[in-house]
Every structure is written in C-alpha cells, then in structure tokens.
Structure 1
Amino acid sequence: MTEHDKVAAVQPQTLAWVRRHLEAGERILGIEALRGGISAEMRRLTIGTCDGGTRDLVLRSFVDPFSVARAEDALDREAGALTLLPGSGVSAPELVAVDATAEQCAYPSLLMTHLPGRTVLGDEGEGAGDAGDAGLERRVTLLARQLVVIHTLRPAQRPREYEALTTADTVVVPQGADAAAWAAATDVIRRPTPPYEGRFLHRDFQPGNVLFDVPSSGAGEARITGVVDWAQTSWGPTDLDVTHCSTVLAVLHGPAWGQRFAEAYEEAGGVLAADARERQYWQVRDALAFSEDVRAVAQAWQEAGRKDLTARVAEERLDAYVTALMGMPG
C-alpha cells in the first residue's frame, strides 16, 4: 500500500481537520489502522516533525450509524477525562482536539497523543504452566493497582451517572448454556439496585484498554504504560469497574482469573461492596451484559491475535463464569 493509499483511508475532510491541529511545518507521513476496537475506527497517524523526526497521534472516529448517534456524549466524556488525567498518576493520552458533532470532520472524531506499549490479551499457550501463570498474575496485579488509582480521582465536575447496560428482559443466553444458572442469574438482577458510594469510573477497564511494556527478559518485569478509551467514564460503584474487568479476564483466560481480579483489587487497597449478595448483584449484572456482545468482542479479539477465542469458546467460558458466580457445579 502506498502512502497515498494509507492517507486516503481517512476522509479528506477529516484529514484537513487533523492538519489544522498539527504544529507549523508538520505533515502526515502515514496512517495505520489499529485493531481490536468495536465501537470506533482507530488510526495511528505518523507525523513528520520540523526537525526531521516523527511522532505519533491517534485518531478515533465513530463511523457506523449506531455509534454516530451516541458519539457526542462519548467523545465529550473522553475529552473531559483526558483533560482531567494529566498529573493524576494515571498515564493516558493527551487531548489534541475533538469534534464531537462532526462539524468539521466527516465523522465525530477525537485526536490524541499516542502512548507507548501494547495490549496483552495472551495467547493459546498462556496460562499453561508456571511461566504463563506468573506473567498473567503479574498483569492482573498491575491492573488491580491501576484501577485503585483511577477510583481515587475526584473530578471538579462529575461525569454522568452510570448506565446499567442490560435488563432481565434483554439477557442473551448462549446456546447450550446452563439454563438453571442463567435463570437464577437473571433473577439476581431483578433485585433492587444495592446502595453504593459513587466513585469516578473508567467503565470499560479491561486488558484491551490497558497498554503494557513486557520486556523480553521476563514477564515479571511487565509494567503499565497507559490506559486508553475513556469514552464511557461514569460515576458509580467501584464494583462496576471491577466486575467488568473480571468478566473479560474470565473469558480471556478462564473463570478463575475473573474471580482472582476482585481479590487483587482488594489486596491493592480497593473497596468493594461488603455484602456478598450485593457483590453478586454487580458481578452478575456485568456478566449478563457481556453476553449481549460476546460474539462481537470475540471477533475483535481474534483480529487482535487471539485466534483460539472463537465465539463458541468465548460463550462457553462466559457460561462457566456465570455458573461459578451462581455457585453451581460447572
């Protein structure tokens, strides 16, 4: 693919907007699609600088009609979070520009700096043996510590209250799932919402939105280099962020790792609902919400390198996790 073709992958109207936000004398050298996302198109832009060097920016655009209808709120939330985070102890991209209503771009878009590191979703062999388990345990610990820091943030203006994302009437039960376990889980979210003390939430905190530096010298030296995708920032119970990351870990690596993350969060100083029934409510609510998108998420993970995680495998792991949450044999 030529450089011209790469640039042509983004609408000219949007490219013109990007150029208006570059430093004097800078130019776009190339564009690369970033894989693994679901709701938005992500592009890494290589920018030629005046001194002959390069730097990278990231362009986030909501393109499909479903996402465009929700883009203004999402991009406003992300822009607000990226403005809040500098100096907070949470490494995140810096905001360059935002056009949440597509007044100047072809689609609602946000331009931000690019962070070093990469997402680590694991692979078919990870978790098999001491070395794989040690690397995953290290990352789970780092994820938990990072989330505790996020929950300490106190923005001057609170983001919008969280949305539940699923109801007892919208649950999608995977084919072949444990019918009794899923019926019991659905009954759990019919209960009244437990009381909670609100905190600043990322709302999509999980391995796909955390960048790591994992040196080849050993997984034990892994460190987090940044947290991305702040478009769903909300105000609500810490359990919501913890249970979402737990669900994703359970599907990526097996149910035991989902339950391990909650333990790691508390070990790092995080506070969850004290009552077991209240914890179960938040755990089940997220797992059932995940069921609605599990096939789309599995496809994105496959594109990002997890070829083993077919939609069927993802559904089976989610079923095993829900069954475990309900205390039934799996």
Structure 2
Amino acid sequence: MRWHGGHHDEAAAVRPLTLAWVCRHLDVGEQVIRTEALHGGITAEMWRLTIGTRDGGTVRDLVLRTFVDPFYLERAEDWLNRETGALTLLAGTDVPAPGLVAADPTAAHCEYPSLLMTHLSGRTVLDDEGLQTRVPLLARQLVEIHALRPVERPREYVALTTADTVVVPKGADEAAWAAAIDVIRKPRPPYEGRFLHRDFQPGNVLFDMPSSRSAGARITGVVDWAATSWGPADLDVAHCSTNLALLHGPAWGQRFAEAYEEAGGVLAAAASERLYWRVRDALASSEEVQLVAQAWREAGRTELTTRAVEERLDAYVTALMNALG
C-alpha cells in the first residue's frame, strides 16, 4: 500500500469525532497542539499530530491514519486489524516499527476507520544518490523481518495478479512479456513460509541521513504493516526489487536480490522458482504504474512520468526473462 496525500486539502482539519477519539488516548494533561497533513501515499489520509502538555512541557508526535476513500473503505477493517496485530507483535522485537496507540477499525468512534501510532524519526529517501549505501541496509532489514517467528501466523499471502489482468505497456517487448505471462500461468512453486511485510519498498522505509552524502545512513523505521502475510521470502524480495527497478533502473532490481543473500537471506534454490516470484511481482505492478508514478512525482521525482516508469518496467521484465528465463 502506498500513502496518497492527494485526496485532501492542506487546509482540511482532522475531523471532530476523530480528534475527540485521539484526545481520549492521550496522557492526562496532554492535548493536540498542531496537526499537519502528510503527503505521498495512495490509500489513506495521514496526519502528523504534535502533542503537548498544558504547562508547555514535553512535546511528542503521533501519526493518525484515516481511510476515507470509498474504494479502500471496504478493506479498511481487515487492513487495520492486520496492522494492529503486526504492530503488537513487532513491539517486542528489534524491527523499528511504529508503536500502536489505538485503533478504530470499524469506525465505532471516529468518522472513518482510523489508526493512531507513534511517530518515527527519519524520512523516506527516493533519490538515486547514495543508493549503493542504502540497498544493503534495506536488504539487512528485510532479512531481520523474515527471521521473525510469530506465535500466531498472519494469514497467507494474496497474489492479486493473474495472467489475464496483466497490462502490457505500449511498445513493450511482446515476446518477453508473453513468456513472462506464461511463467505465472504455471502452478506456484513450493516454498517455506516466512513472516512477510508484503509492501517492503523504499516508500515504506525511513532513513536517518546524517549528511548530504549517505555515509552513516541508517534505517529508523519500517511503516505500513497492513498487508502483513505468511509466504515465501522471495515474494517480499521480488516486491522491493520491482520498486527499485522502477525508481532507479532495472539493474537495481537484480542487485537487491543479491544484497538480500549477502545479508544472509535465503531465496528459492532453483532459477525457475526465483523467476516465478520475481515475474509475478513485476507483472502485478503493470496494473498500477500510473498510481505509483504519480505518488513518486508528488514525492519529488518529477521526471518519473507514467511513460518513463512503463519503459523501466518493460526493461526490467525483459532483463528478468533473459537472466533467469
């Protein structure tokens, strides 16, 4: 899932019932002193709430996510329940995730389904500069996530793409795409289940960048746990690989899988199995290129037109078929 800040007006305020609900979950003497709309996602309104005490003492930040888009509302309860479960589980681990403050998945108290969580320091970094330093950090973080062994497993992953829903970009290498679509017509390979984030990609990872150069960069948080699932490590790796290929160029998709193994992660042994998961995710992204490109442009990557992203996707699918097919 990707945040989308385009659905609401900067002047809009947190809705009154929601604000009252937030206030009930604050400590005695605390109040919301500032609200700021966060931009850059697709499925929900995001707010940063600054919390202060009446005596002007300590200040902290919380993050409020509210599902308002009619298209996503029907899934909001499931997503918020899953995210609540994931954040509860992650609280006892070394994975830097937000802390759960409160959730209202059915909008019993708020105008819309909402989640209140702690604010993590750091920022998402989508530019090309310093990527060489960040990719191994991303890979190590994902290996750590996959090492979690929850007492209660999340539900099995869902793969939404089918051979019939793939959108072949205009001017794409038709032979490569036809071969790729044939790959996902086959039955899925057997796999060893792992705890998956299911949308692990640069837009959901926060970095602390101490200087303009990337030396000393570190990950301060991983956000958006609403799609947490149980499935093959290859699927999470494939998803991050596709995003890196579209953001930074096809070679980075391949590089991420190597970095994951260098960090101690284990992928499918057979090339045909790796290809299945890698292609499945790349083809899934064909259906949302426009949305993704728009979110990236809003986040500052103005050169990433829908066409530019389509061309990278075509180059990546072709490279996958050449390397592993």
The amino acid across from 1:294 in the alignment is V
Which residue of 93, 99, 108 corresponds with 1:103?
108
1:283 alignment partner in structure 2: 278
Contact between 2:282 and 2:313, CA under 8 Å: does it hold in 1?
Answer: yes
1:8 CA drift (Å) = 4.9
Change (3 A) 1:109 1:323: same
Could you say what secondary structure the match of 1:58 adopts? strand
Separation in 1, partners of 2:282, 2:309: 12
Separation in 1, partners of 2:10, 2:245: 37
2:71 alignment partner in structure 1: 66
Could you say what secondary structure the match of 1:220 adopts? coil
Separation in 1, partners of 2:269, 2:110: 47
- Equivalenced residues, count: 314
Which residue of 220, 239, 264 corresponds with 1:225?
220
Change (3 A) 1:8 1:19: farther
2:5 alignment partner in structure 1: none
Contact between 2:10 and 2:37, CA under 8 Å: does it hold in 1?
Answer: no
1:217 CA drift (Å) = 5.8
- After the TM superposition, which residues 21-40 of structure 1 pair with which residues of structure 2 at under 5 Å, given as runs? 21-40=25-44
1:42 alignment partner in structure 2: 46
Could you say what secondary structure the match of 1:221 adopts? coil
The amino acid across from 2:47 in the alignment is R
The amino acid across from 1:256 in the alignment is A
Q: Provide Cα deviations, 1:69-101, integer angstroms capped at 9, x if missing partner.
A: 001110011101110112311011000000001
Which residue of 11, 35, 46 corresponds with 2:15?
11
Separation in 2, partners of 1:310, 1:217: 26
Separation in 2, partners of 1:282, 1:41: 31
Change (3 A) 1:165 1:325: same
Question: Structure 1 residue 272 and structure 2 residue 267: aligned?
Answer: yes
Q: Provide Cα deviations, 1:265-319, integer angstroms capped at 9, x if missing partner.
A: 0000000000000000000000000111111011011111111111111111111
1:257 alignment partner in structure 2: 252
Q: Sequence identity of aligned pairs in percent?
A: 75
Which residue of 294, 299, 302 corresponds with 1:299?
294
Separation in 2, partners of 1:7, 1:300: 20
2:96 alignment partner in structure 1: 91
Q: Provide Cα deviations, 1:172-196, integer angstroms capped at 9, x if missing partner.
A: 1112211111111111000001000
Give 5+ residue unaligned stretches, structure 1. Answer: 127-131
2:186 alignment partner in structure 1: 191
Contact between 1:49 and 1:55, CA under 8 Å: does it hold in 2?
Answer: no
Shifted more, 166-175 versus 230-239: the winner is 166-175
- After the TM superposition, which residues 124-203 of structure 1 pair with which residues of structure 2 at under 5 Å, given as runs? 126=128, 132=129, 135-203=130-198
1:75 alignment partner in structure 2: 80
Separation in 2, partners of 1:28, 1:215: 29
1:49 CA drift (Å) = 2.6
1:34 CA drift (Å) = 1.3
TM-score normalised by length of structure 2: 0.94
Separation in 2, partners of 1:8, 1:165: 34
Which residue of 232, 237, 243 corresponds with 1:237?
232
The amino acid across from 2:103 in the alignment is V
1:239 CA drift (Å) = 0.3
Separation in 2, partners of 1:136, 1:6: 31
Q: Provide Cα deviations, 1:214-248, integer angstroms capped at 9, x if missing partner.
A: 11163121000010000000000000100000000
Separation in 2, partners of 1:325, 1:69: 35
TM-score normalised by length of structure 1: 0.92
RMSD: 1.4
Separation in 2, partners of 1:49, 1:277: 58
Could you say what secondary structure the match of 2:50 adopts? strand
Separation in 2, partners of 1:252, 1:6: 27
1:316 alignment partner in structure 2: 311
Contact between 2:238 and 2:281, CA under 8 Å: does it hold in 1?
Answer: yes
Could you say what secondary structure the match of 2:309 adopts? helix
Question: Structure 1 residue 205 and structure 2 residue 200: aligned?
Answer: yes
Separation in 2, partners of 1:212, 1:315: 27
Separation in 1, partners of 2:100, 2:191: 31
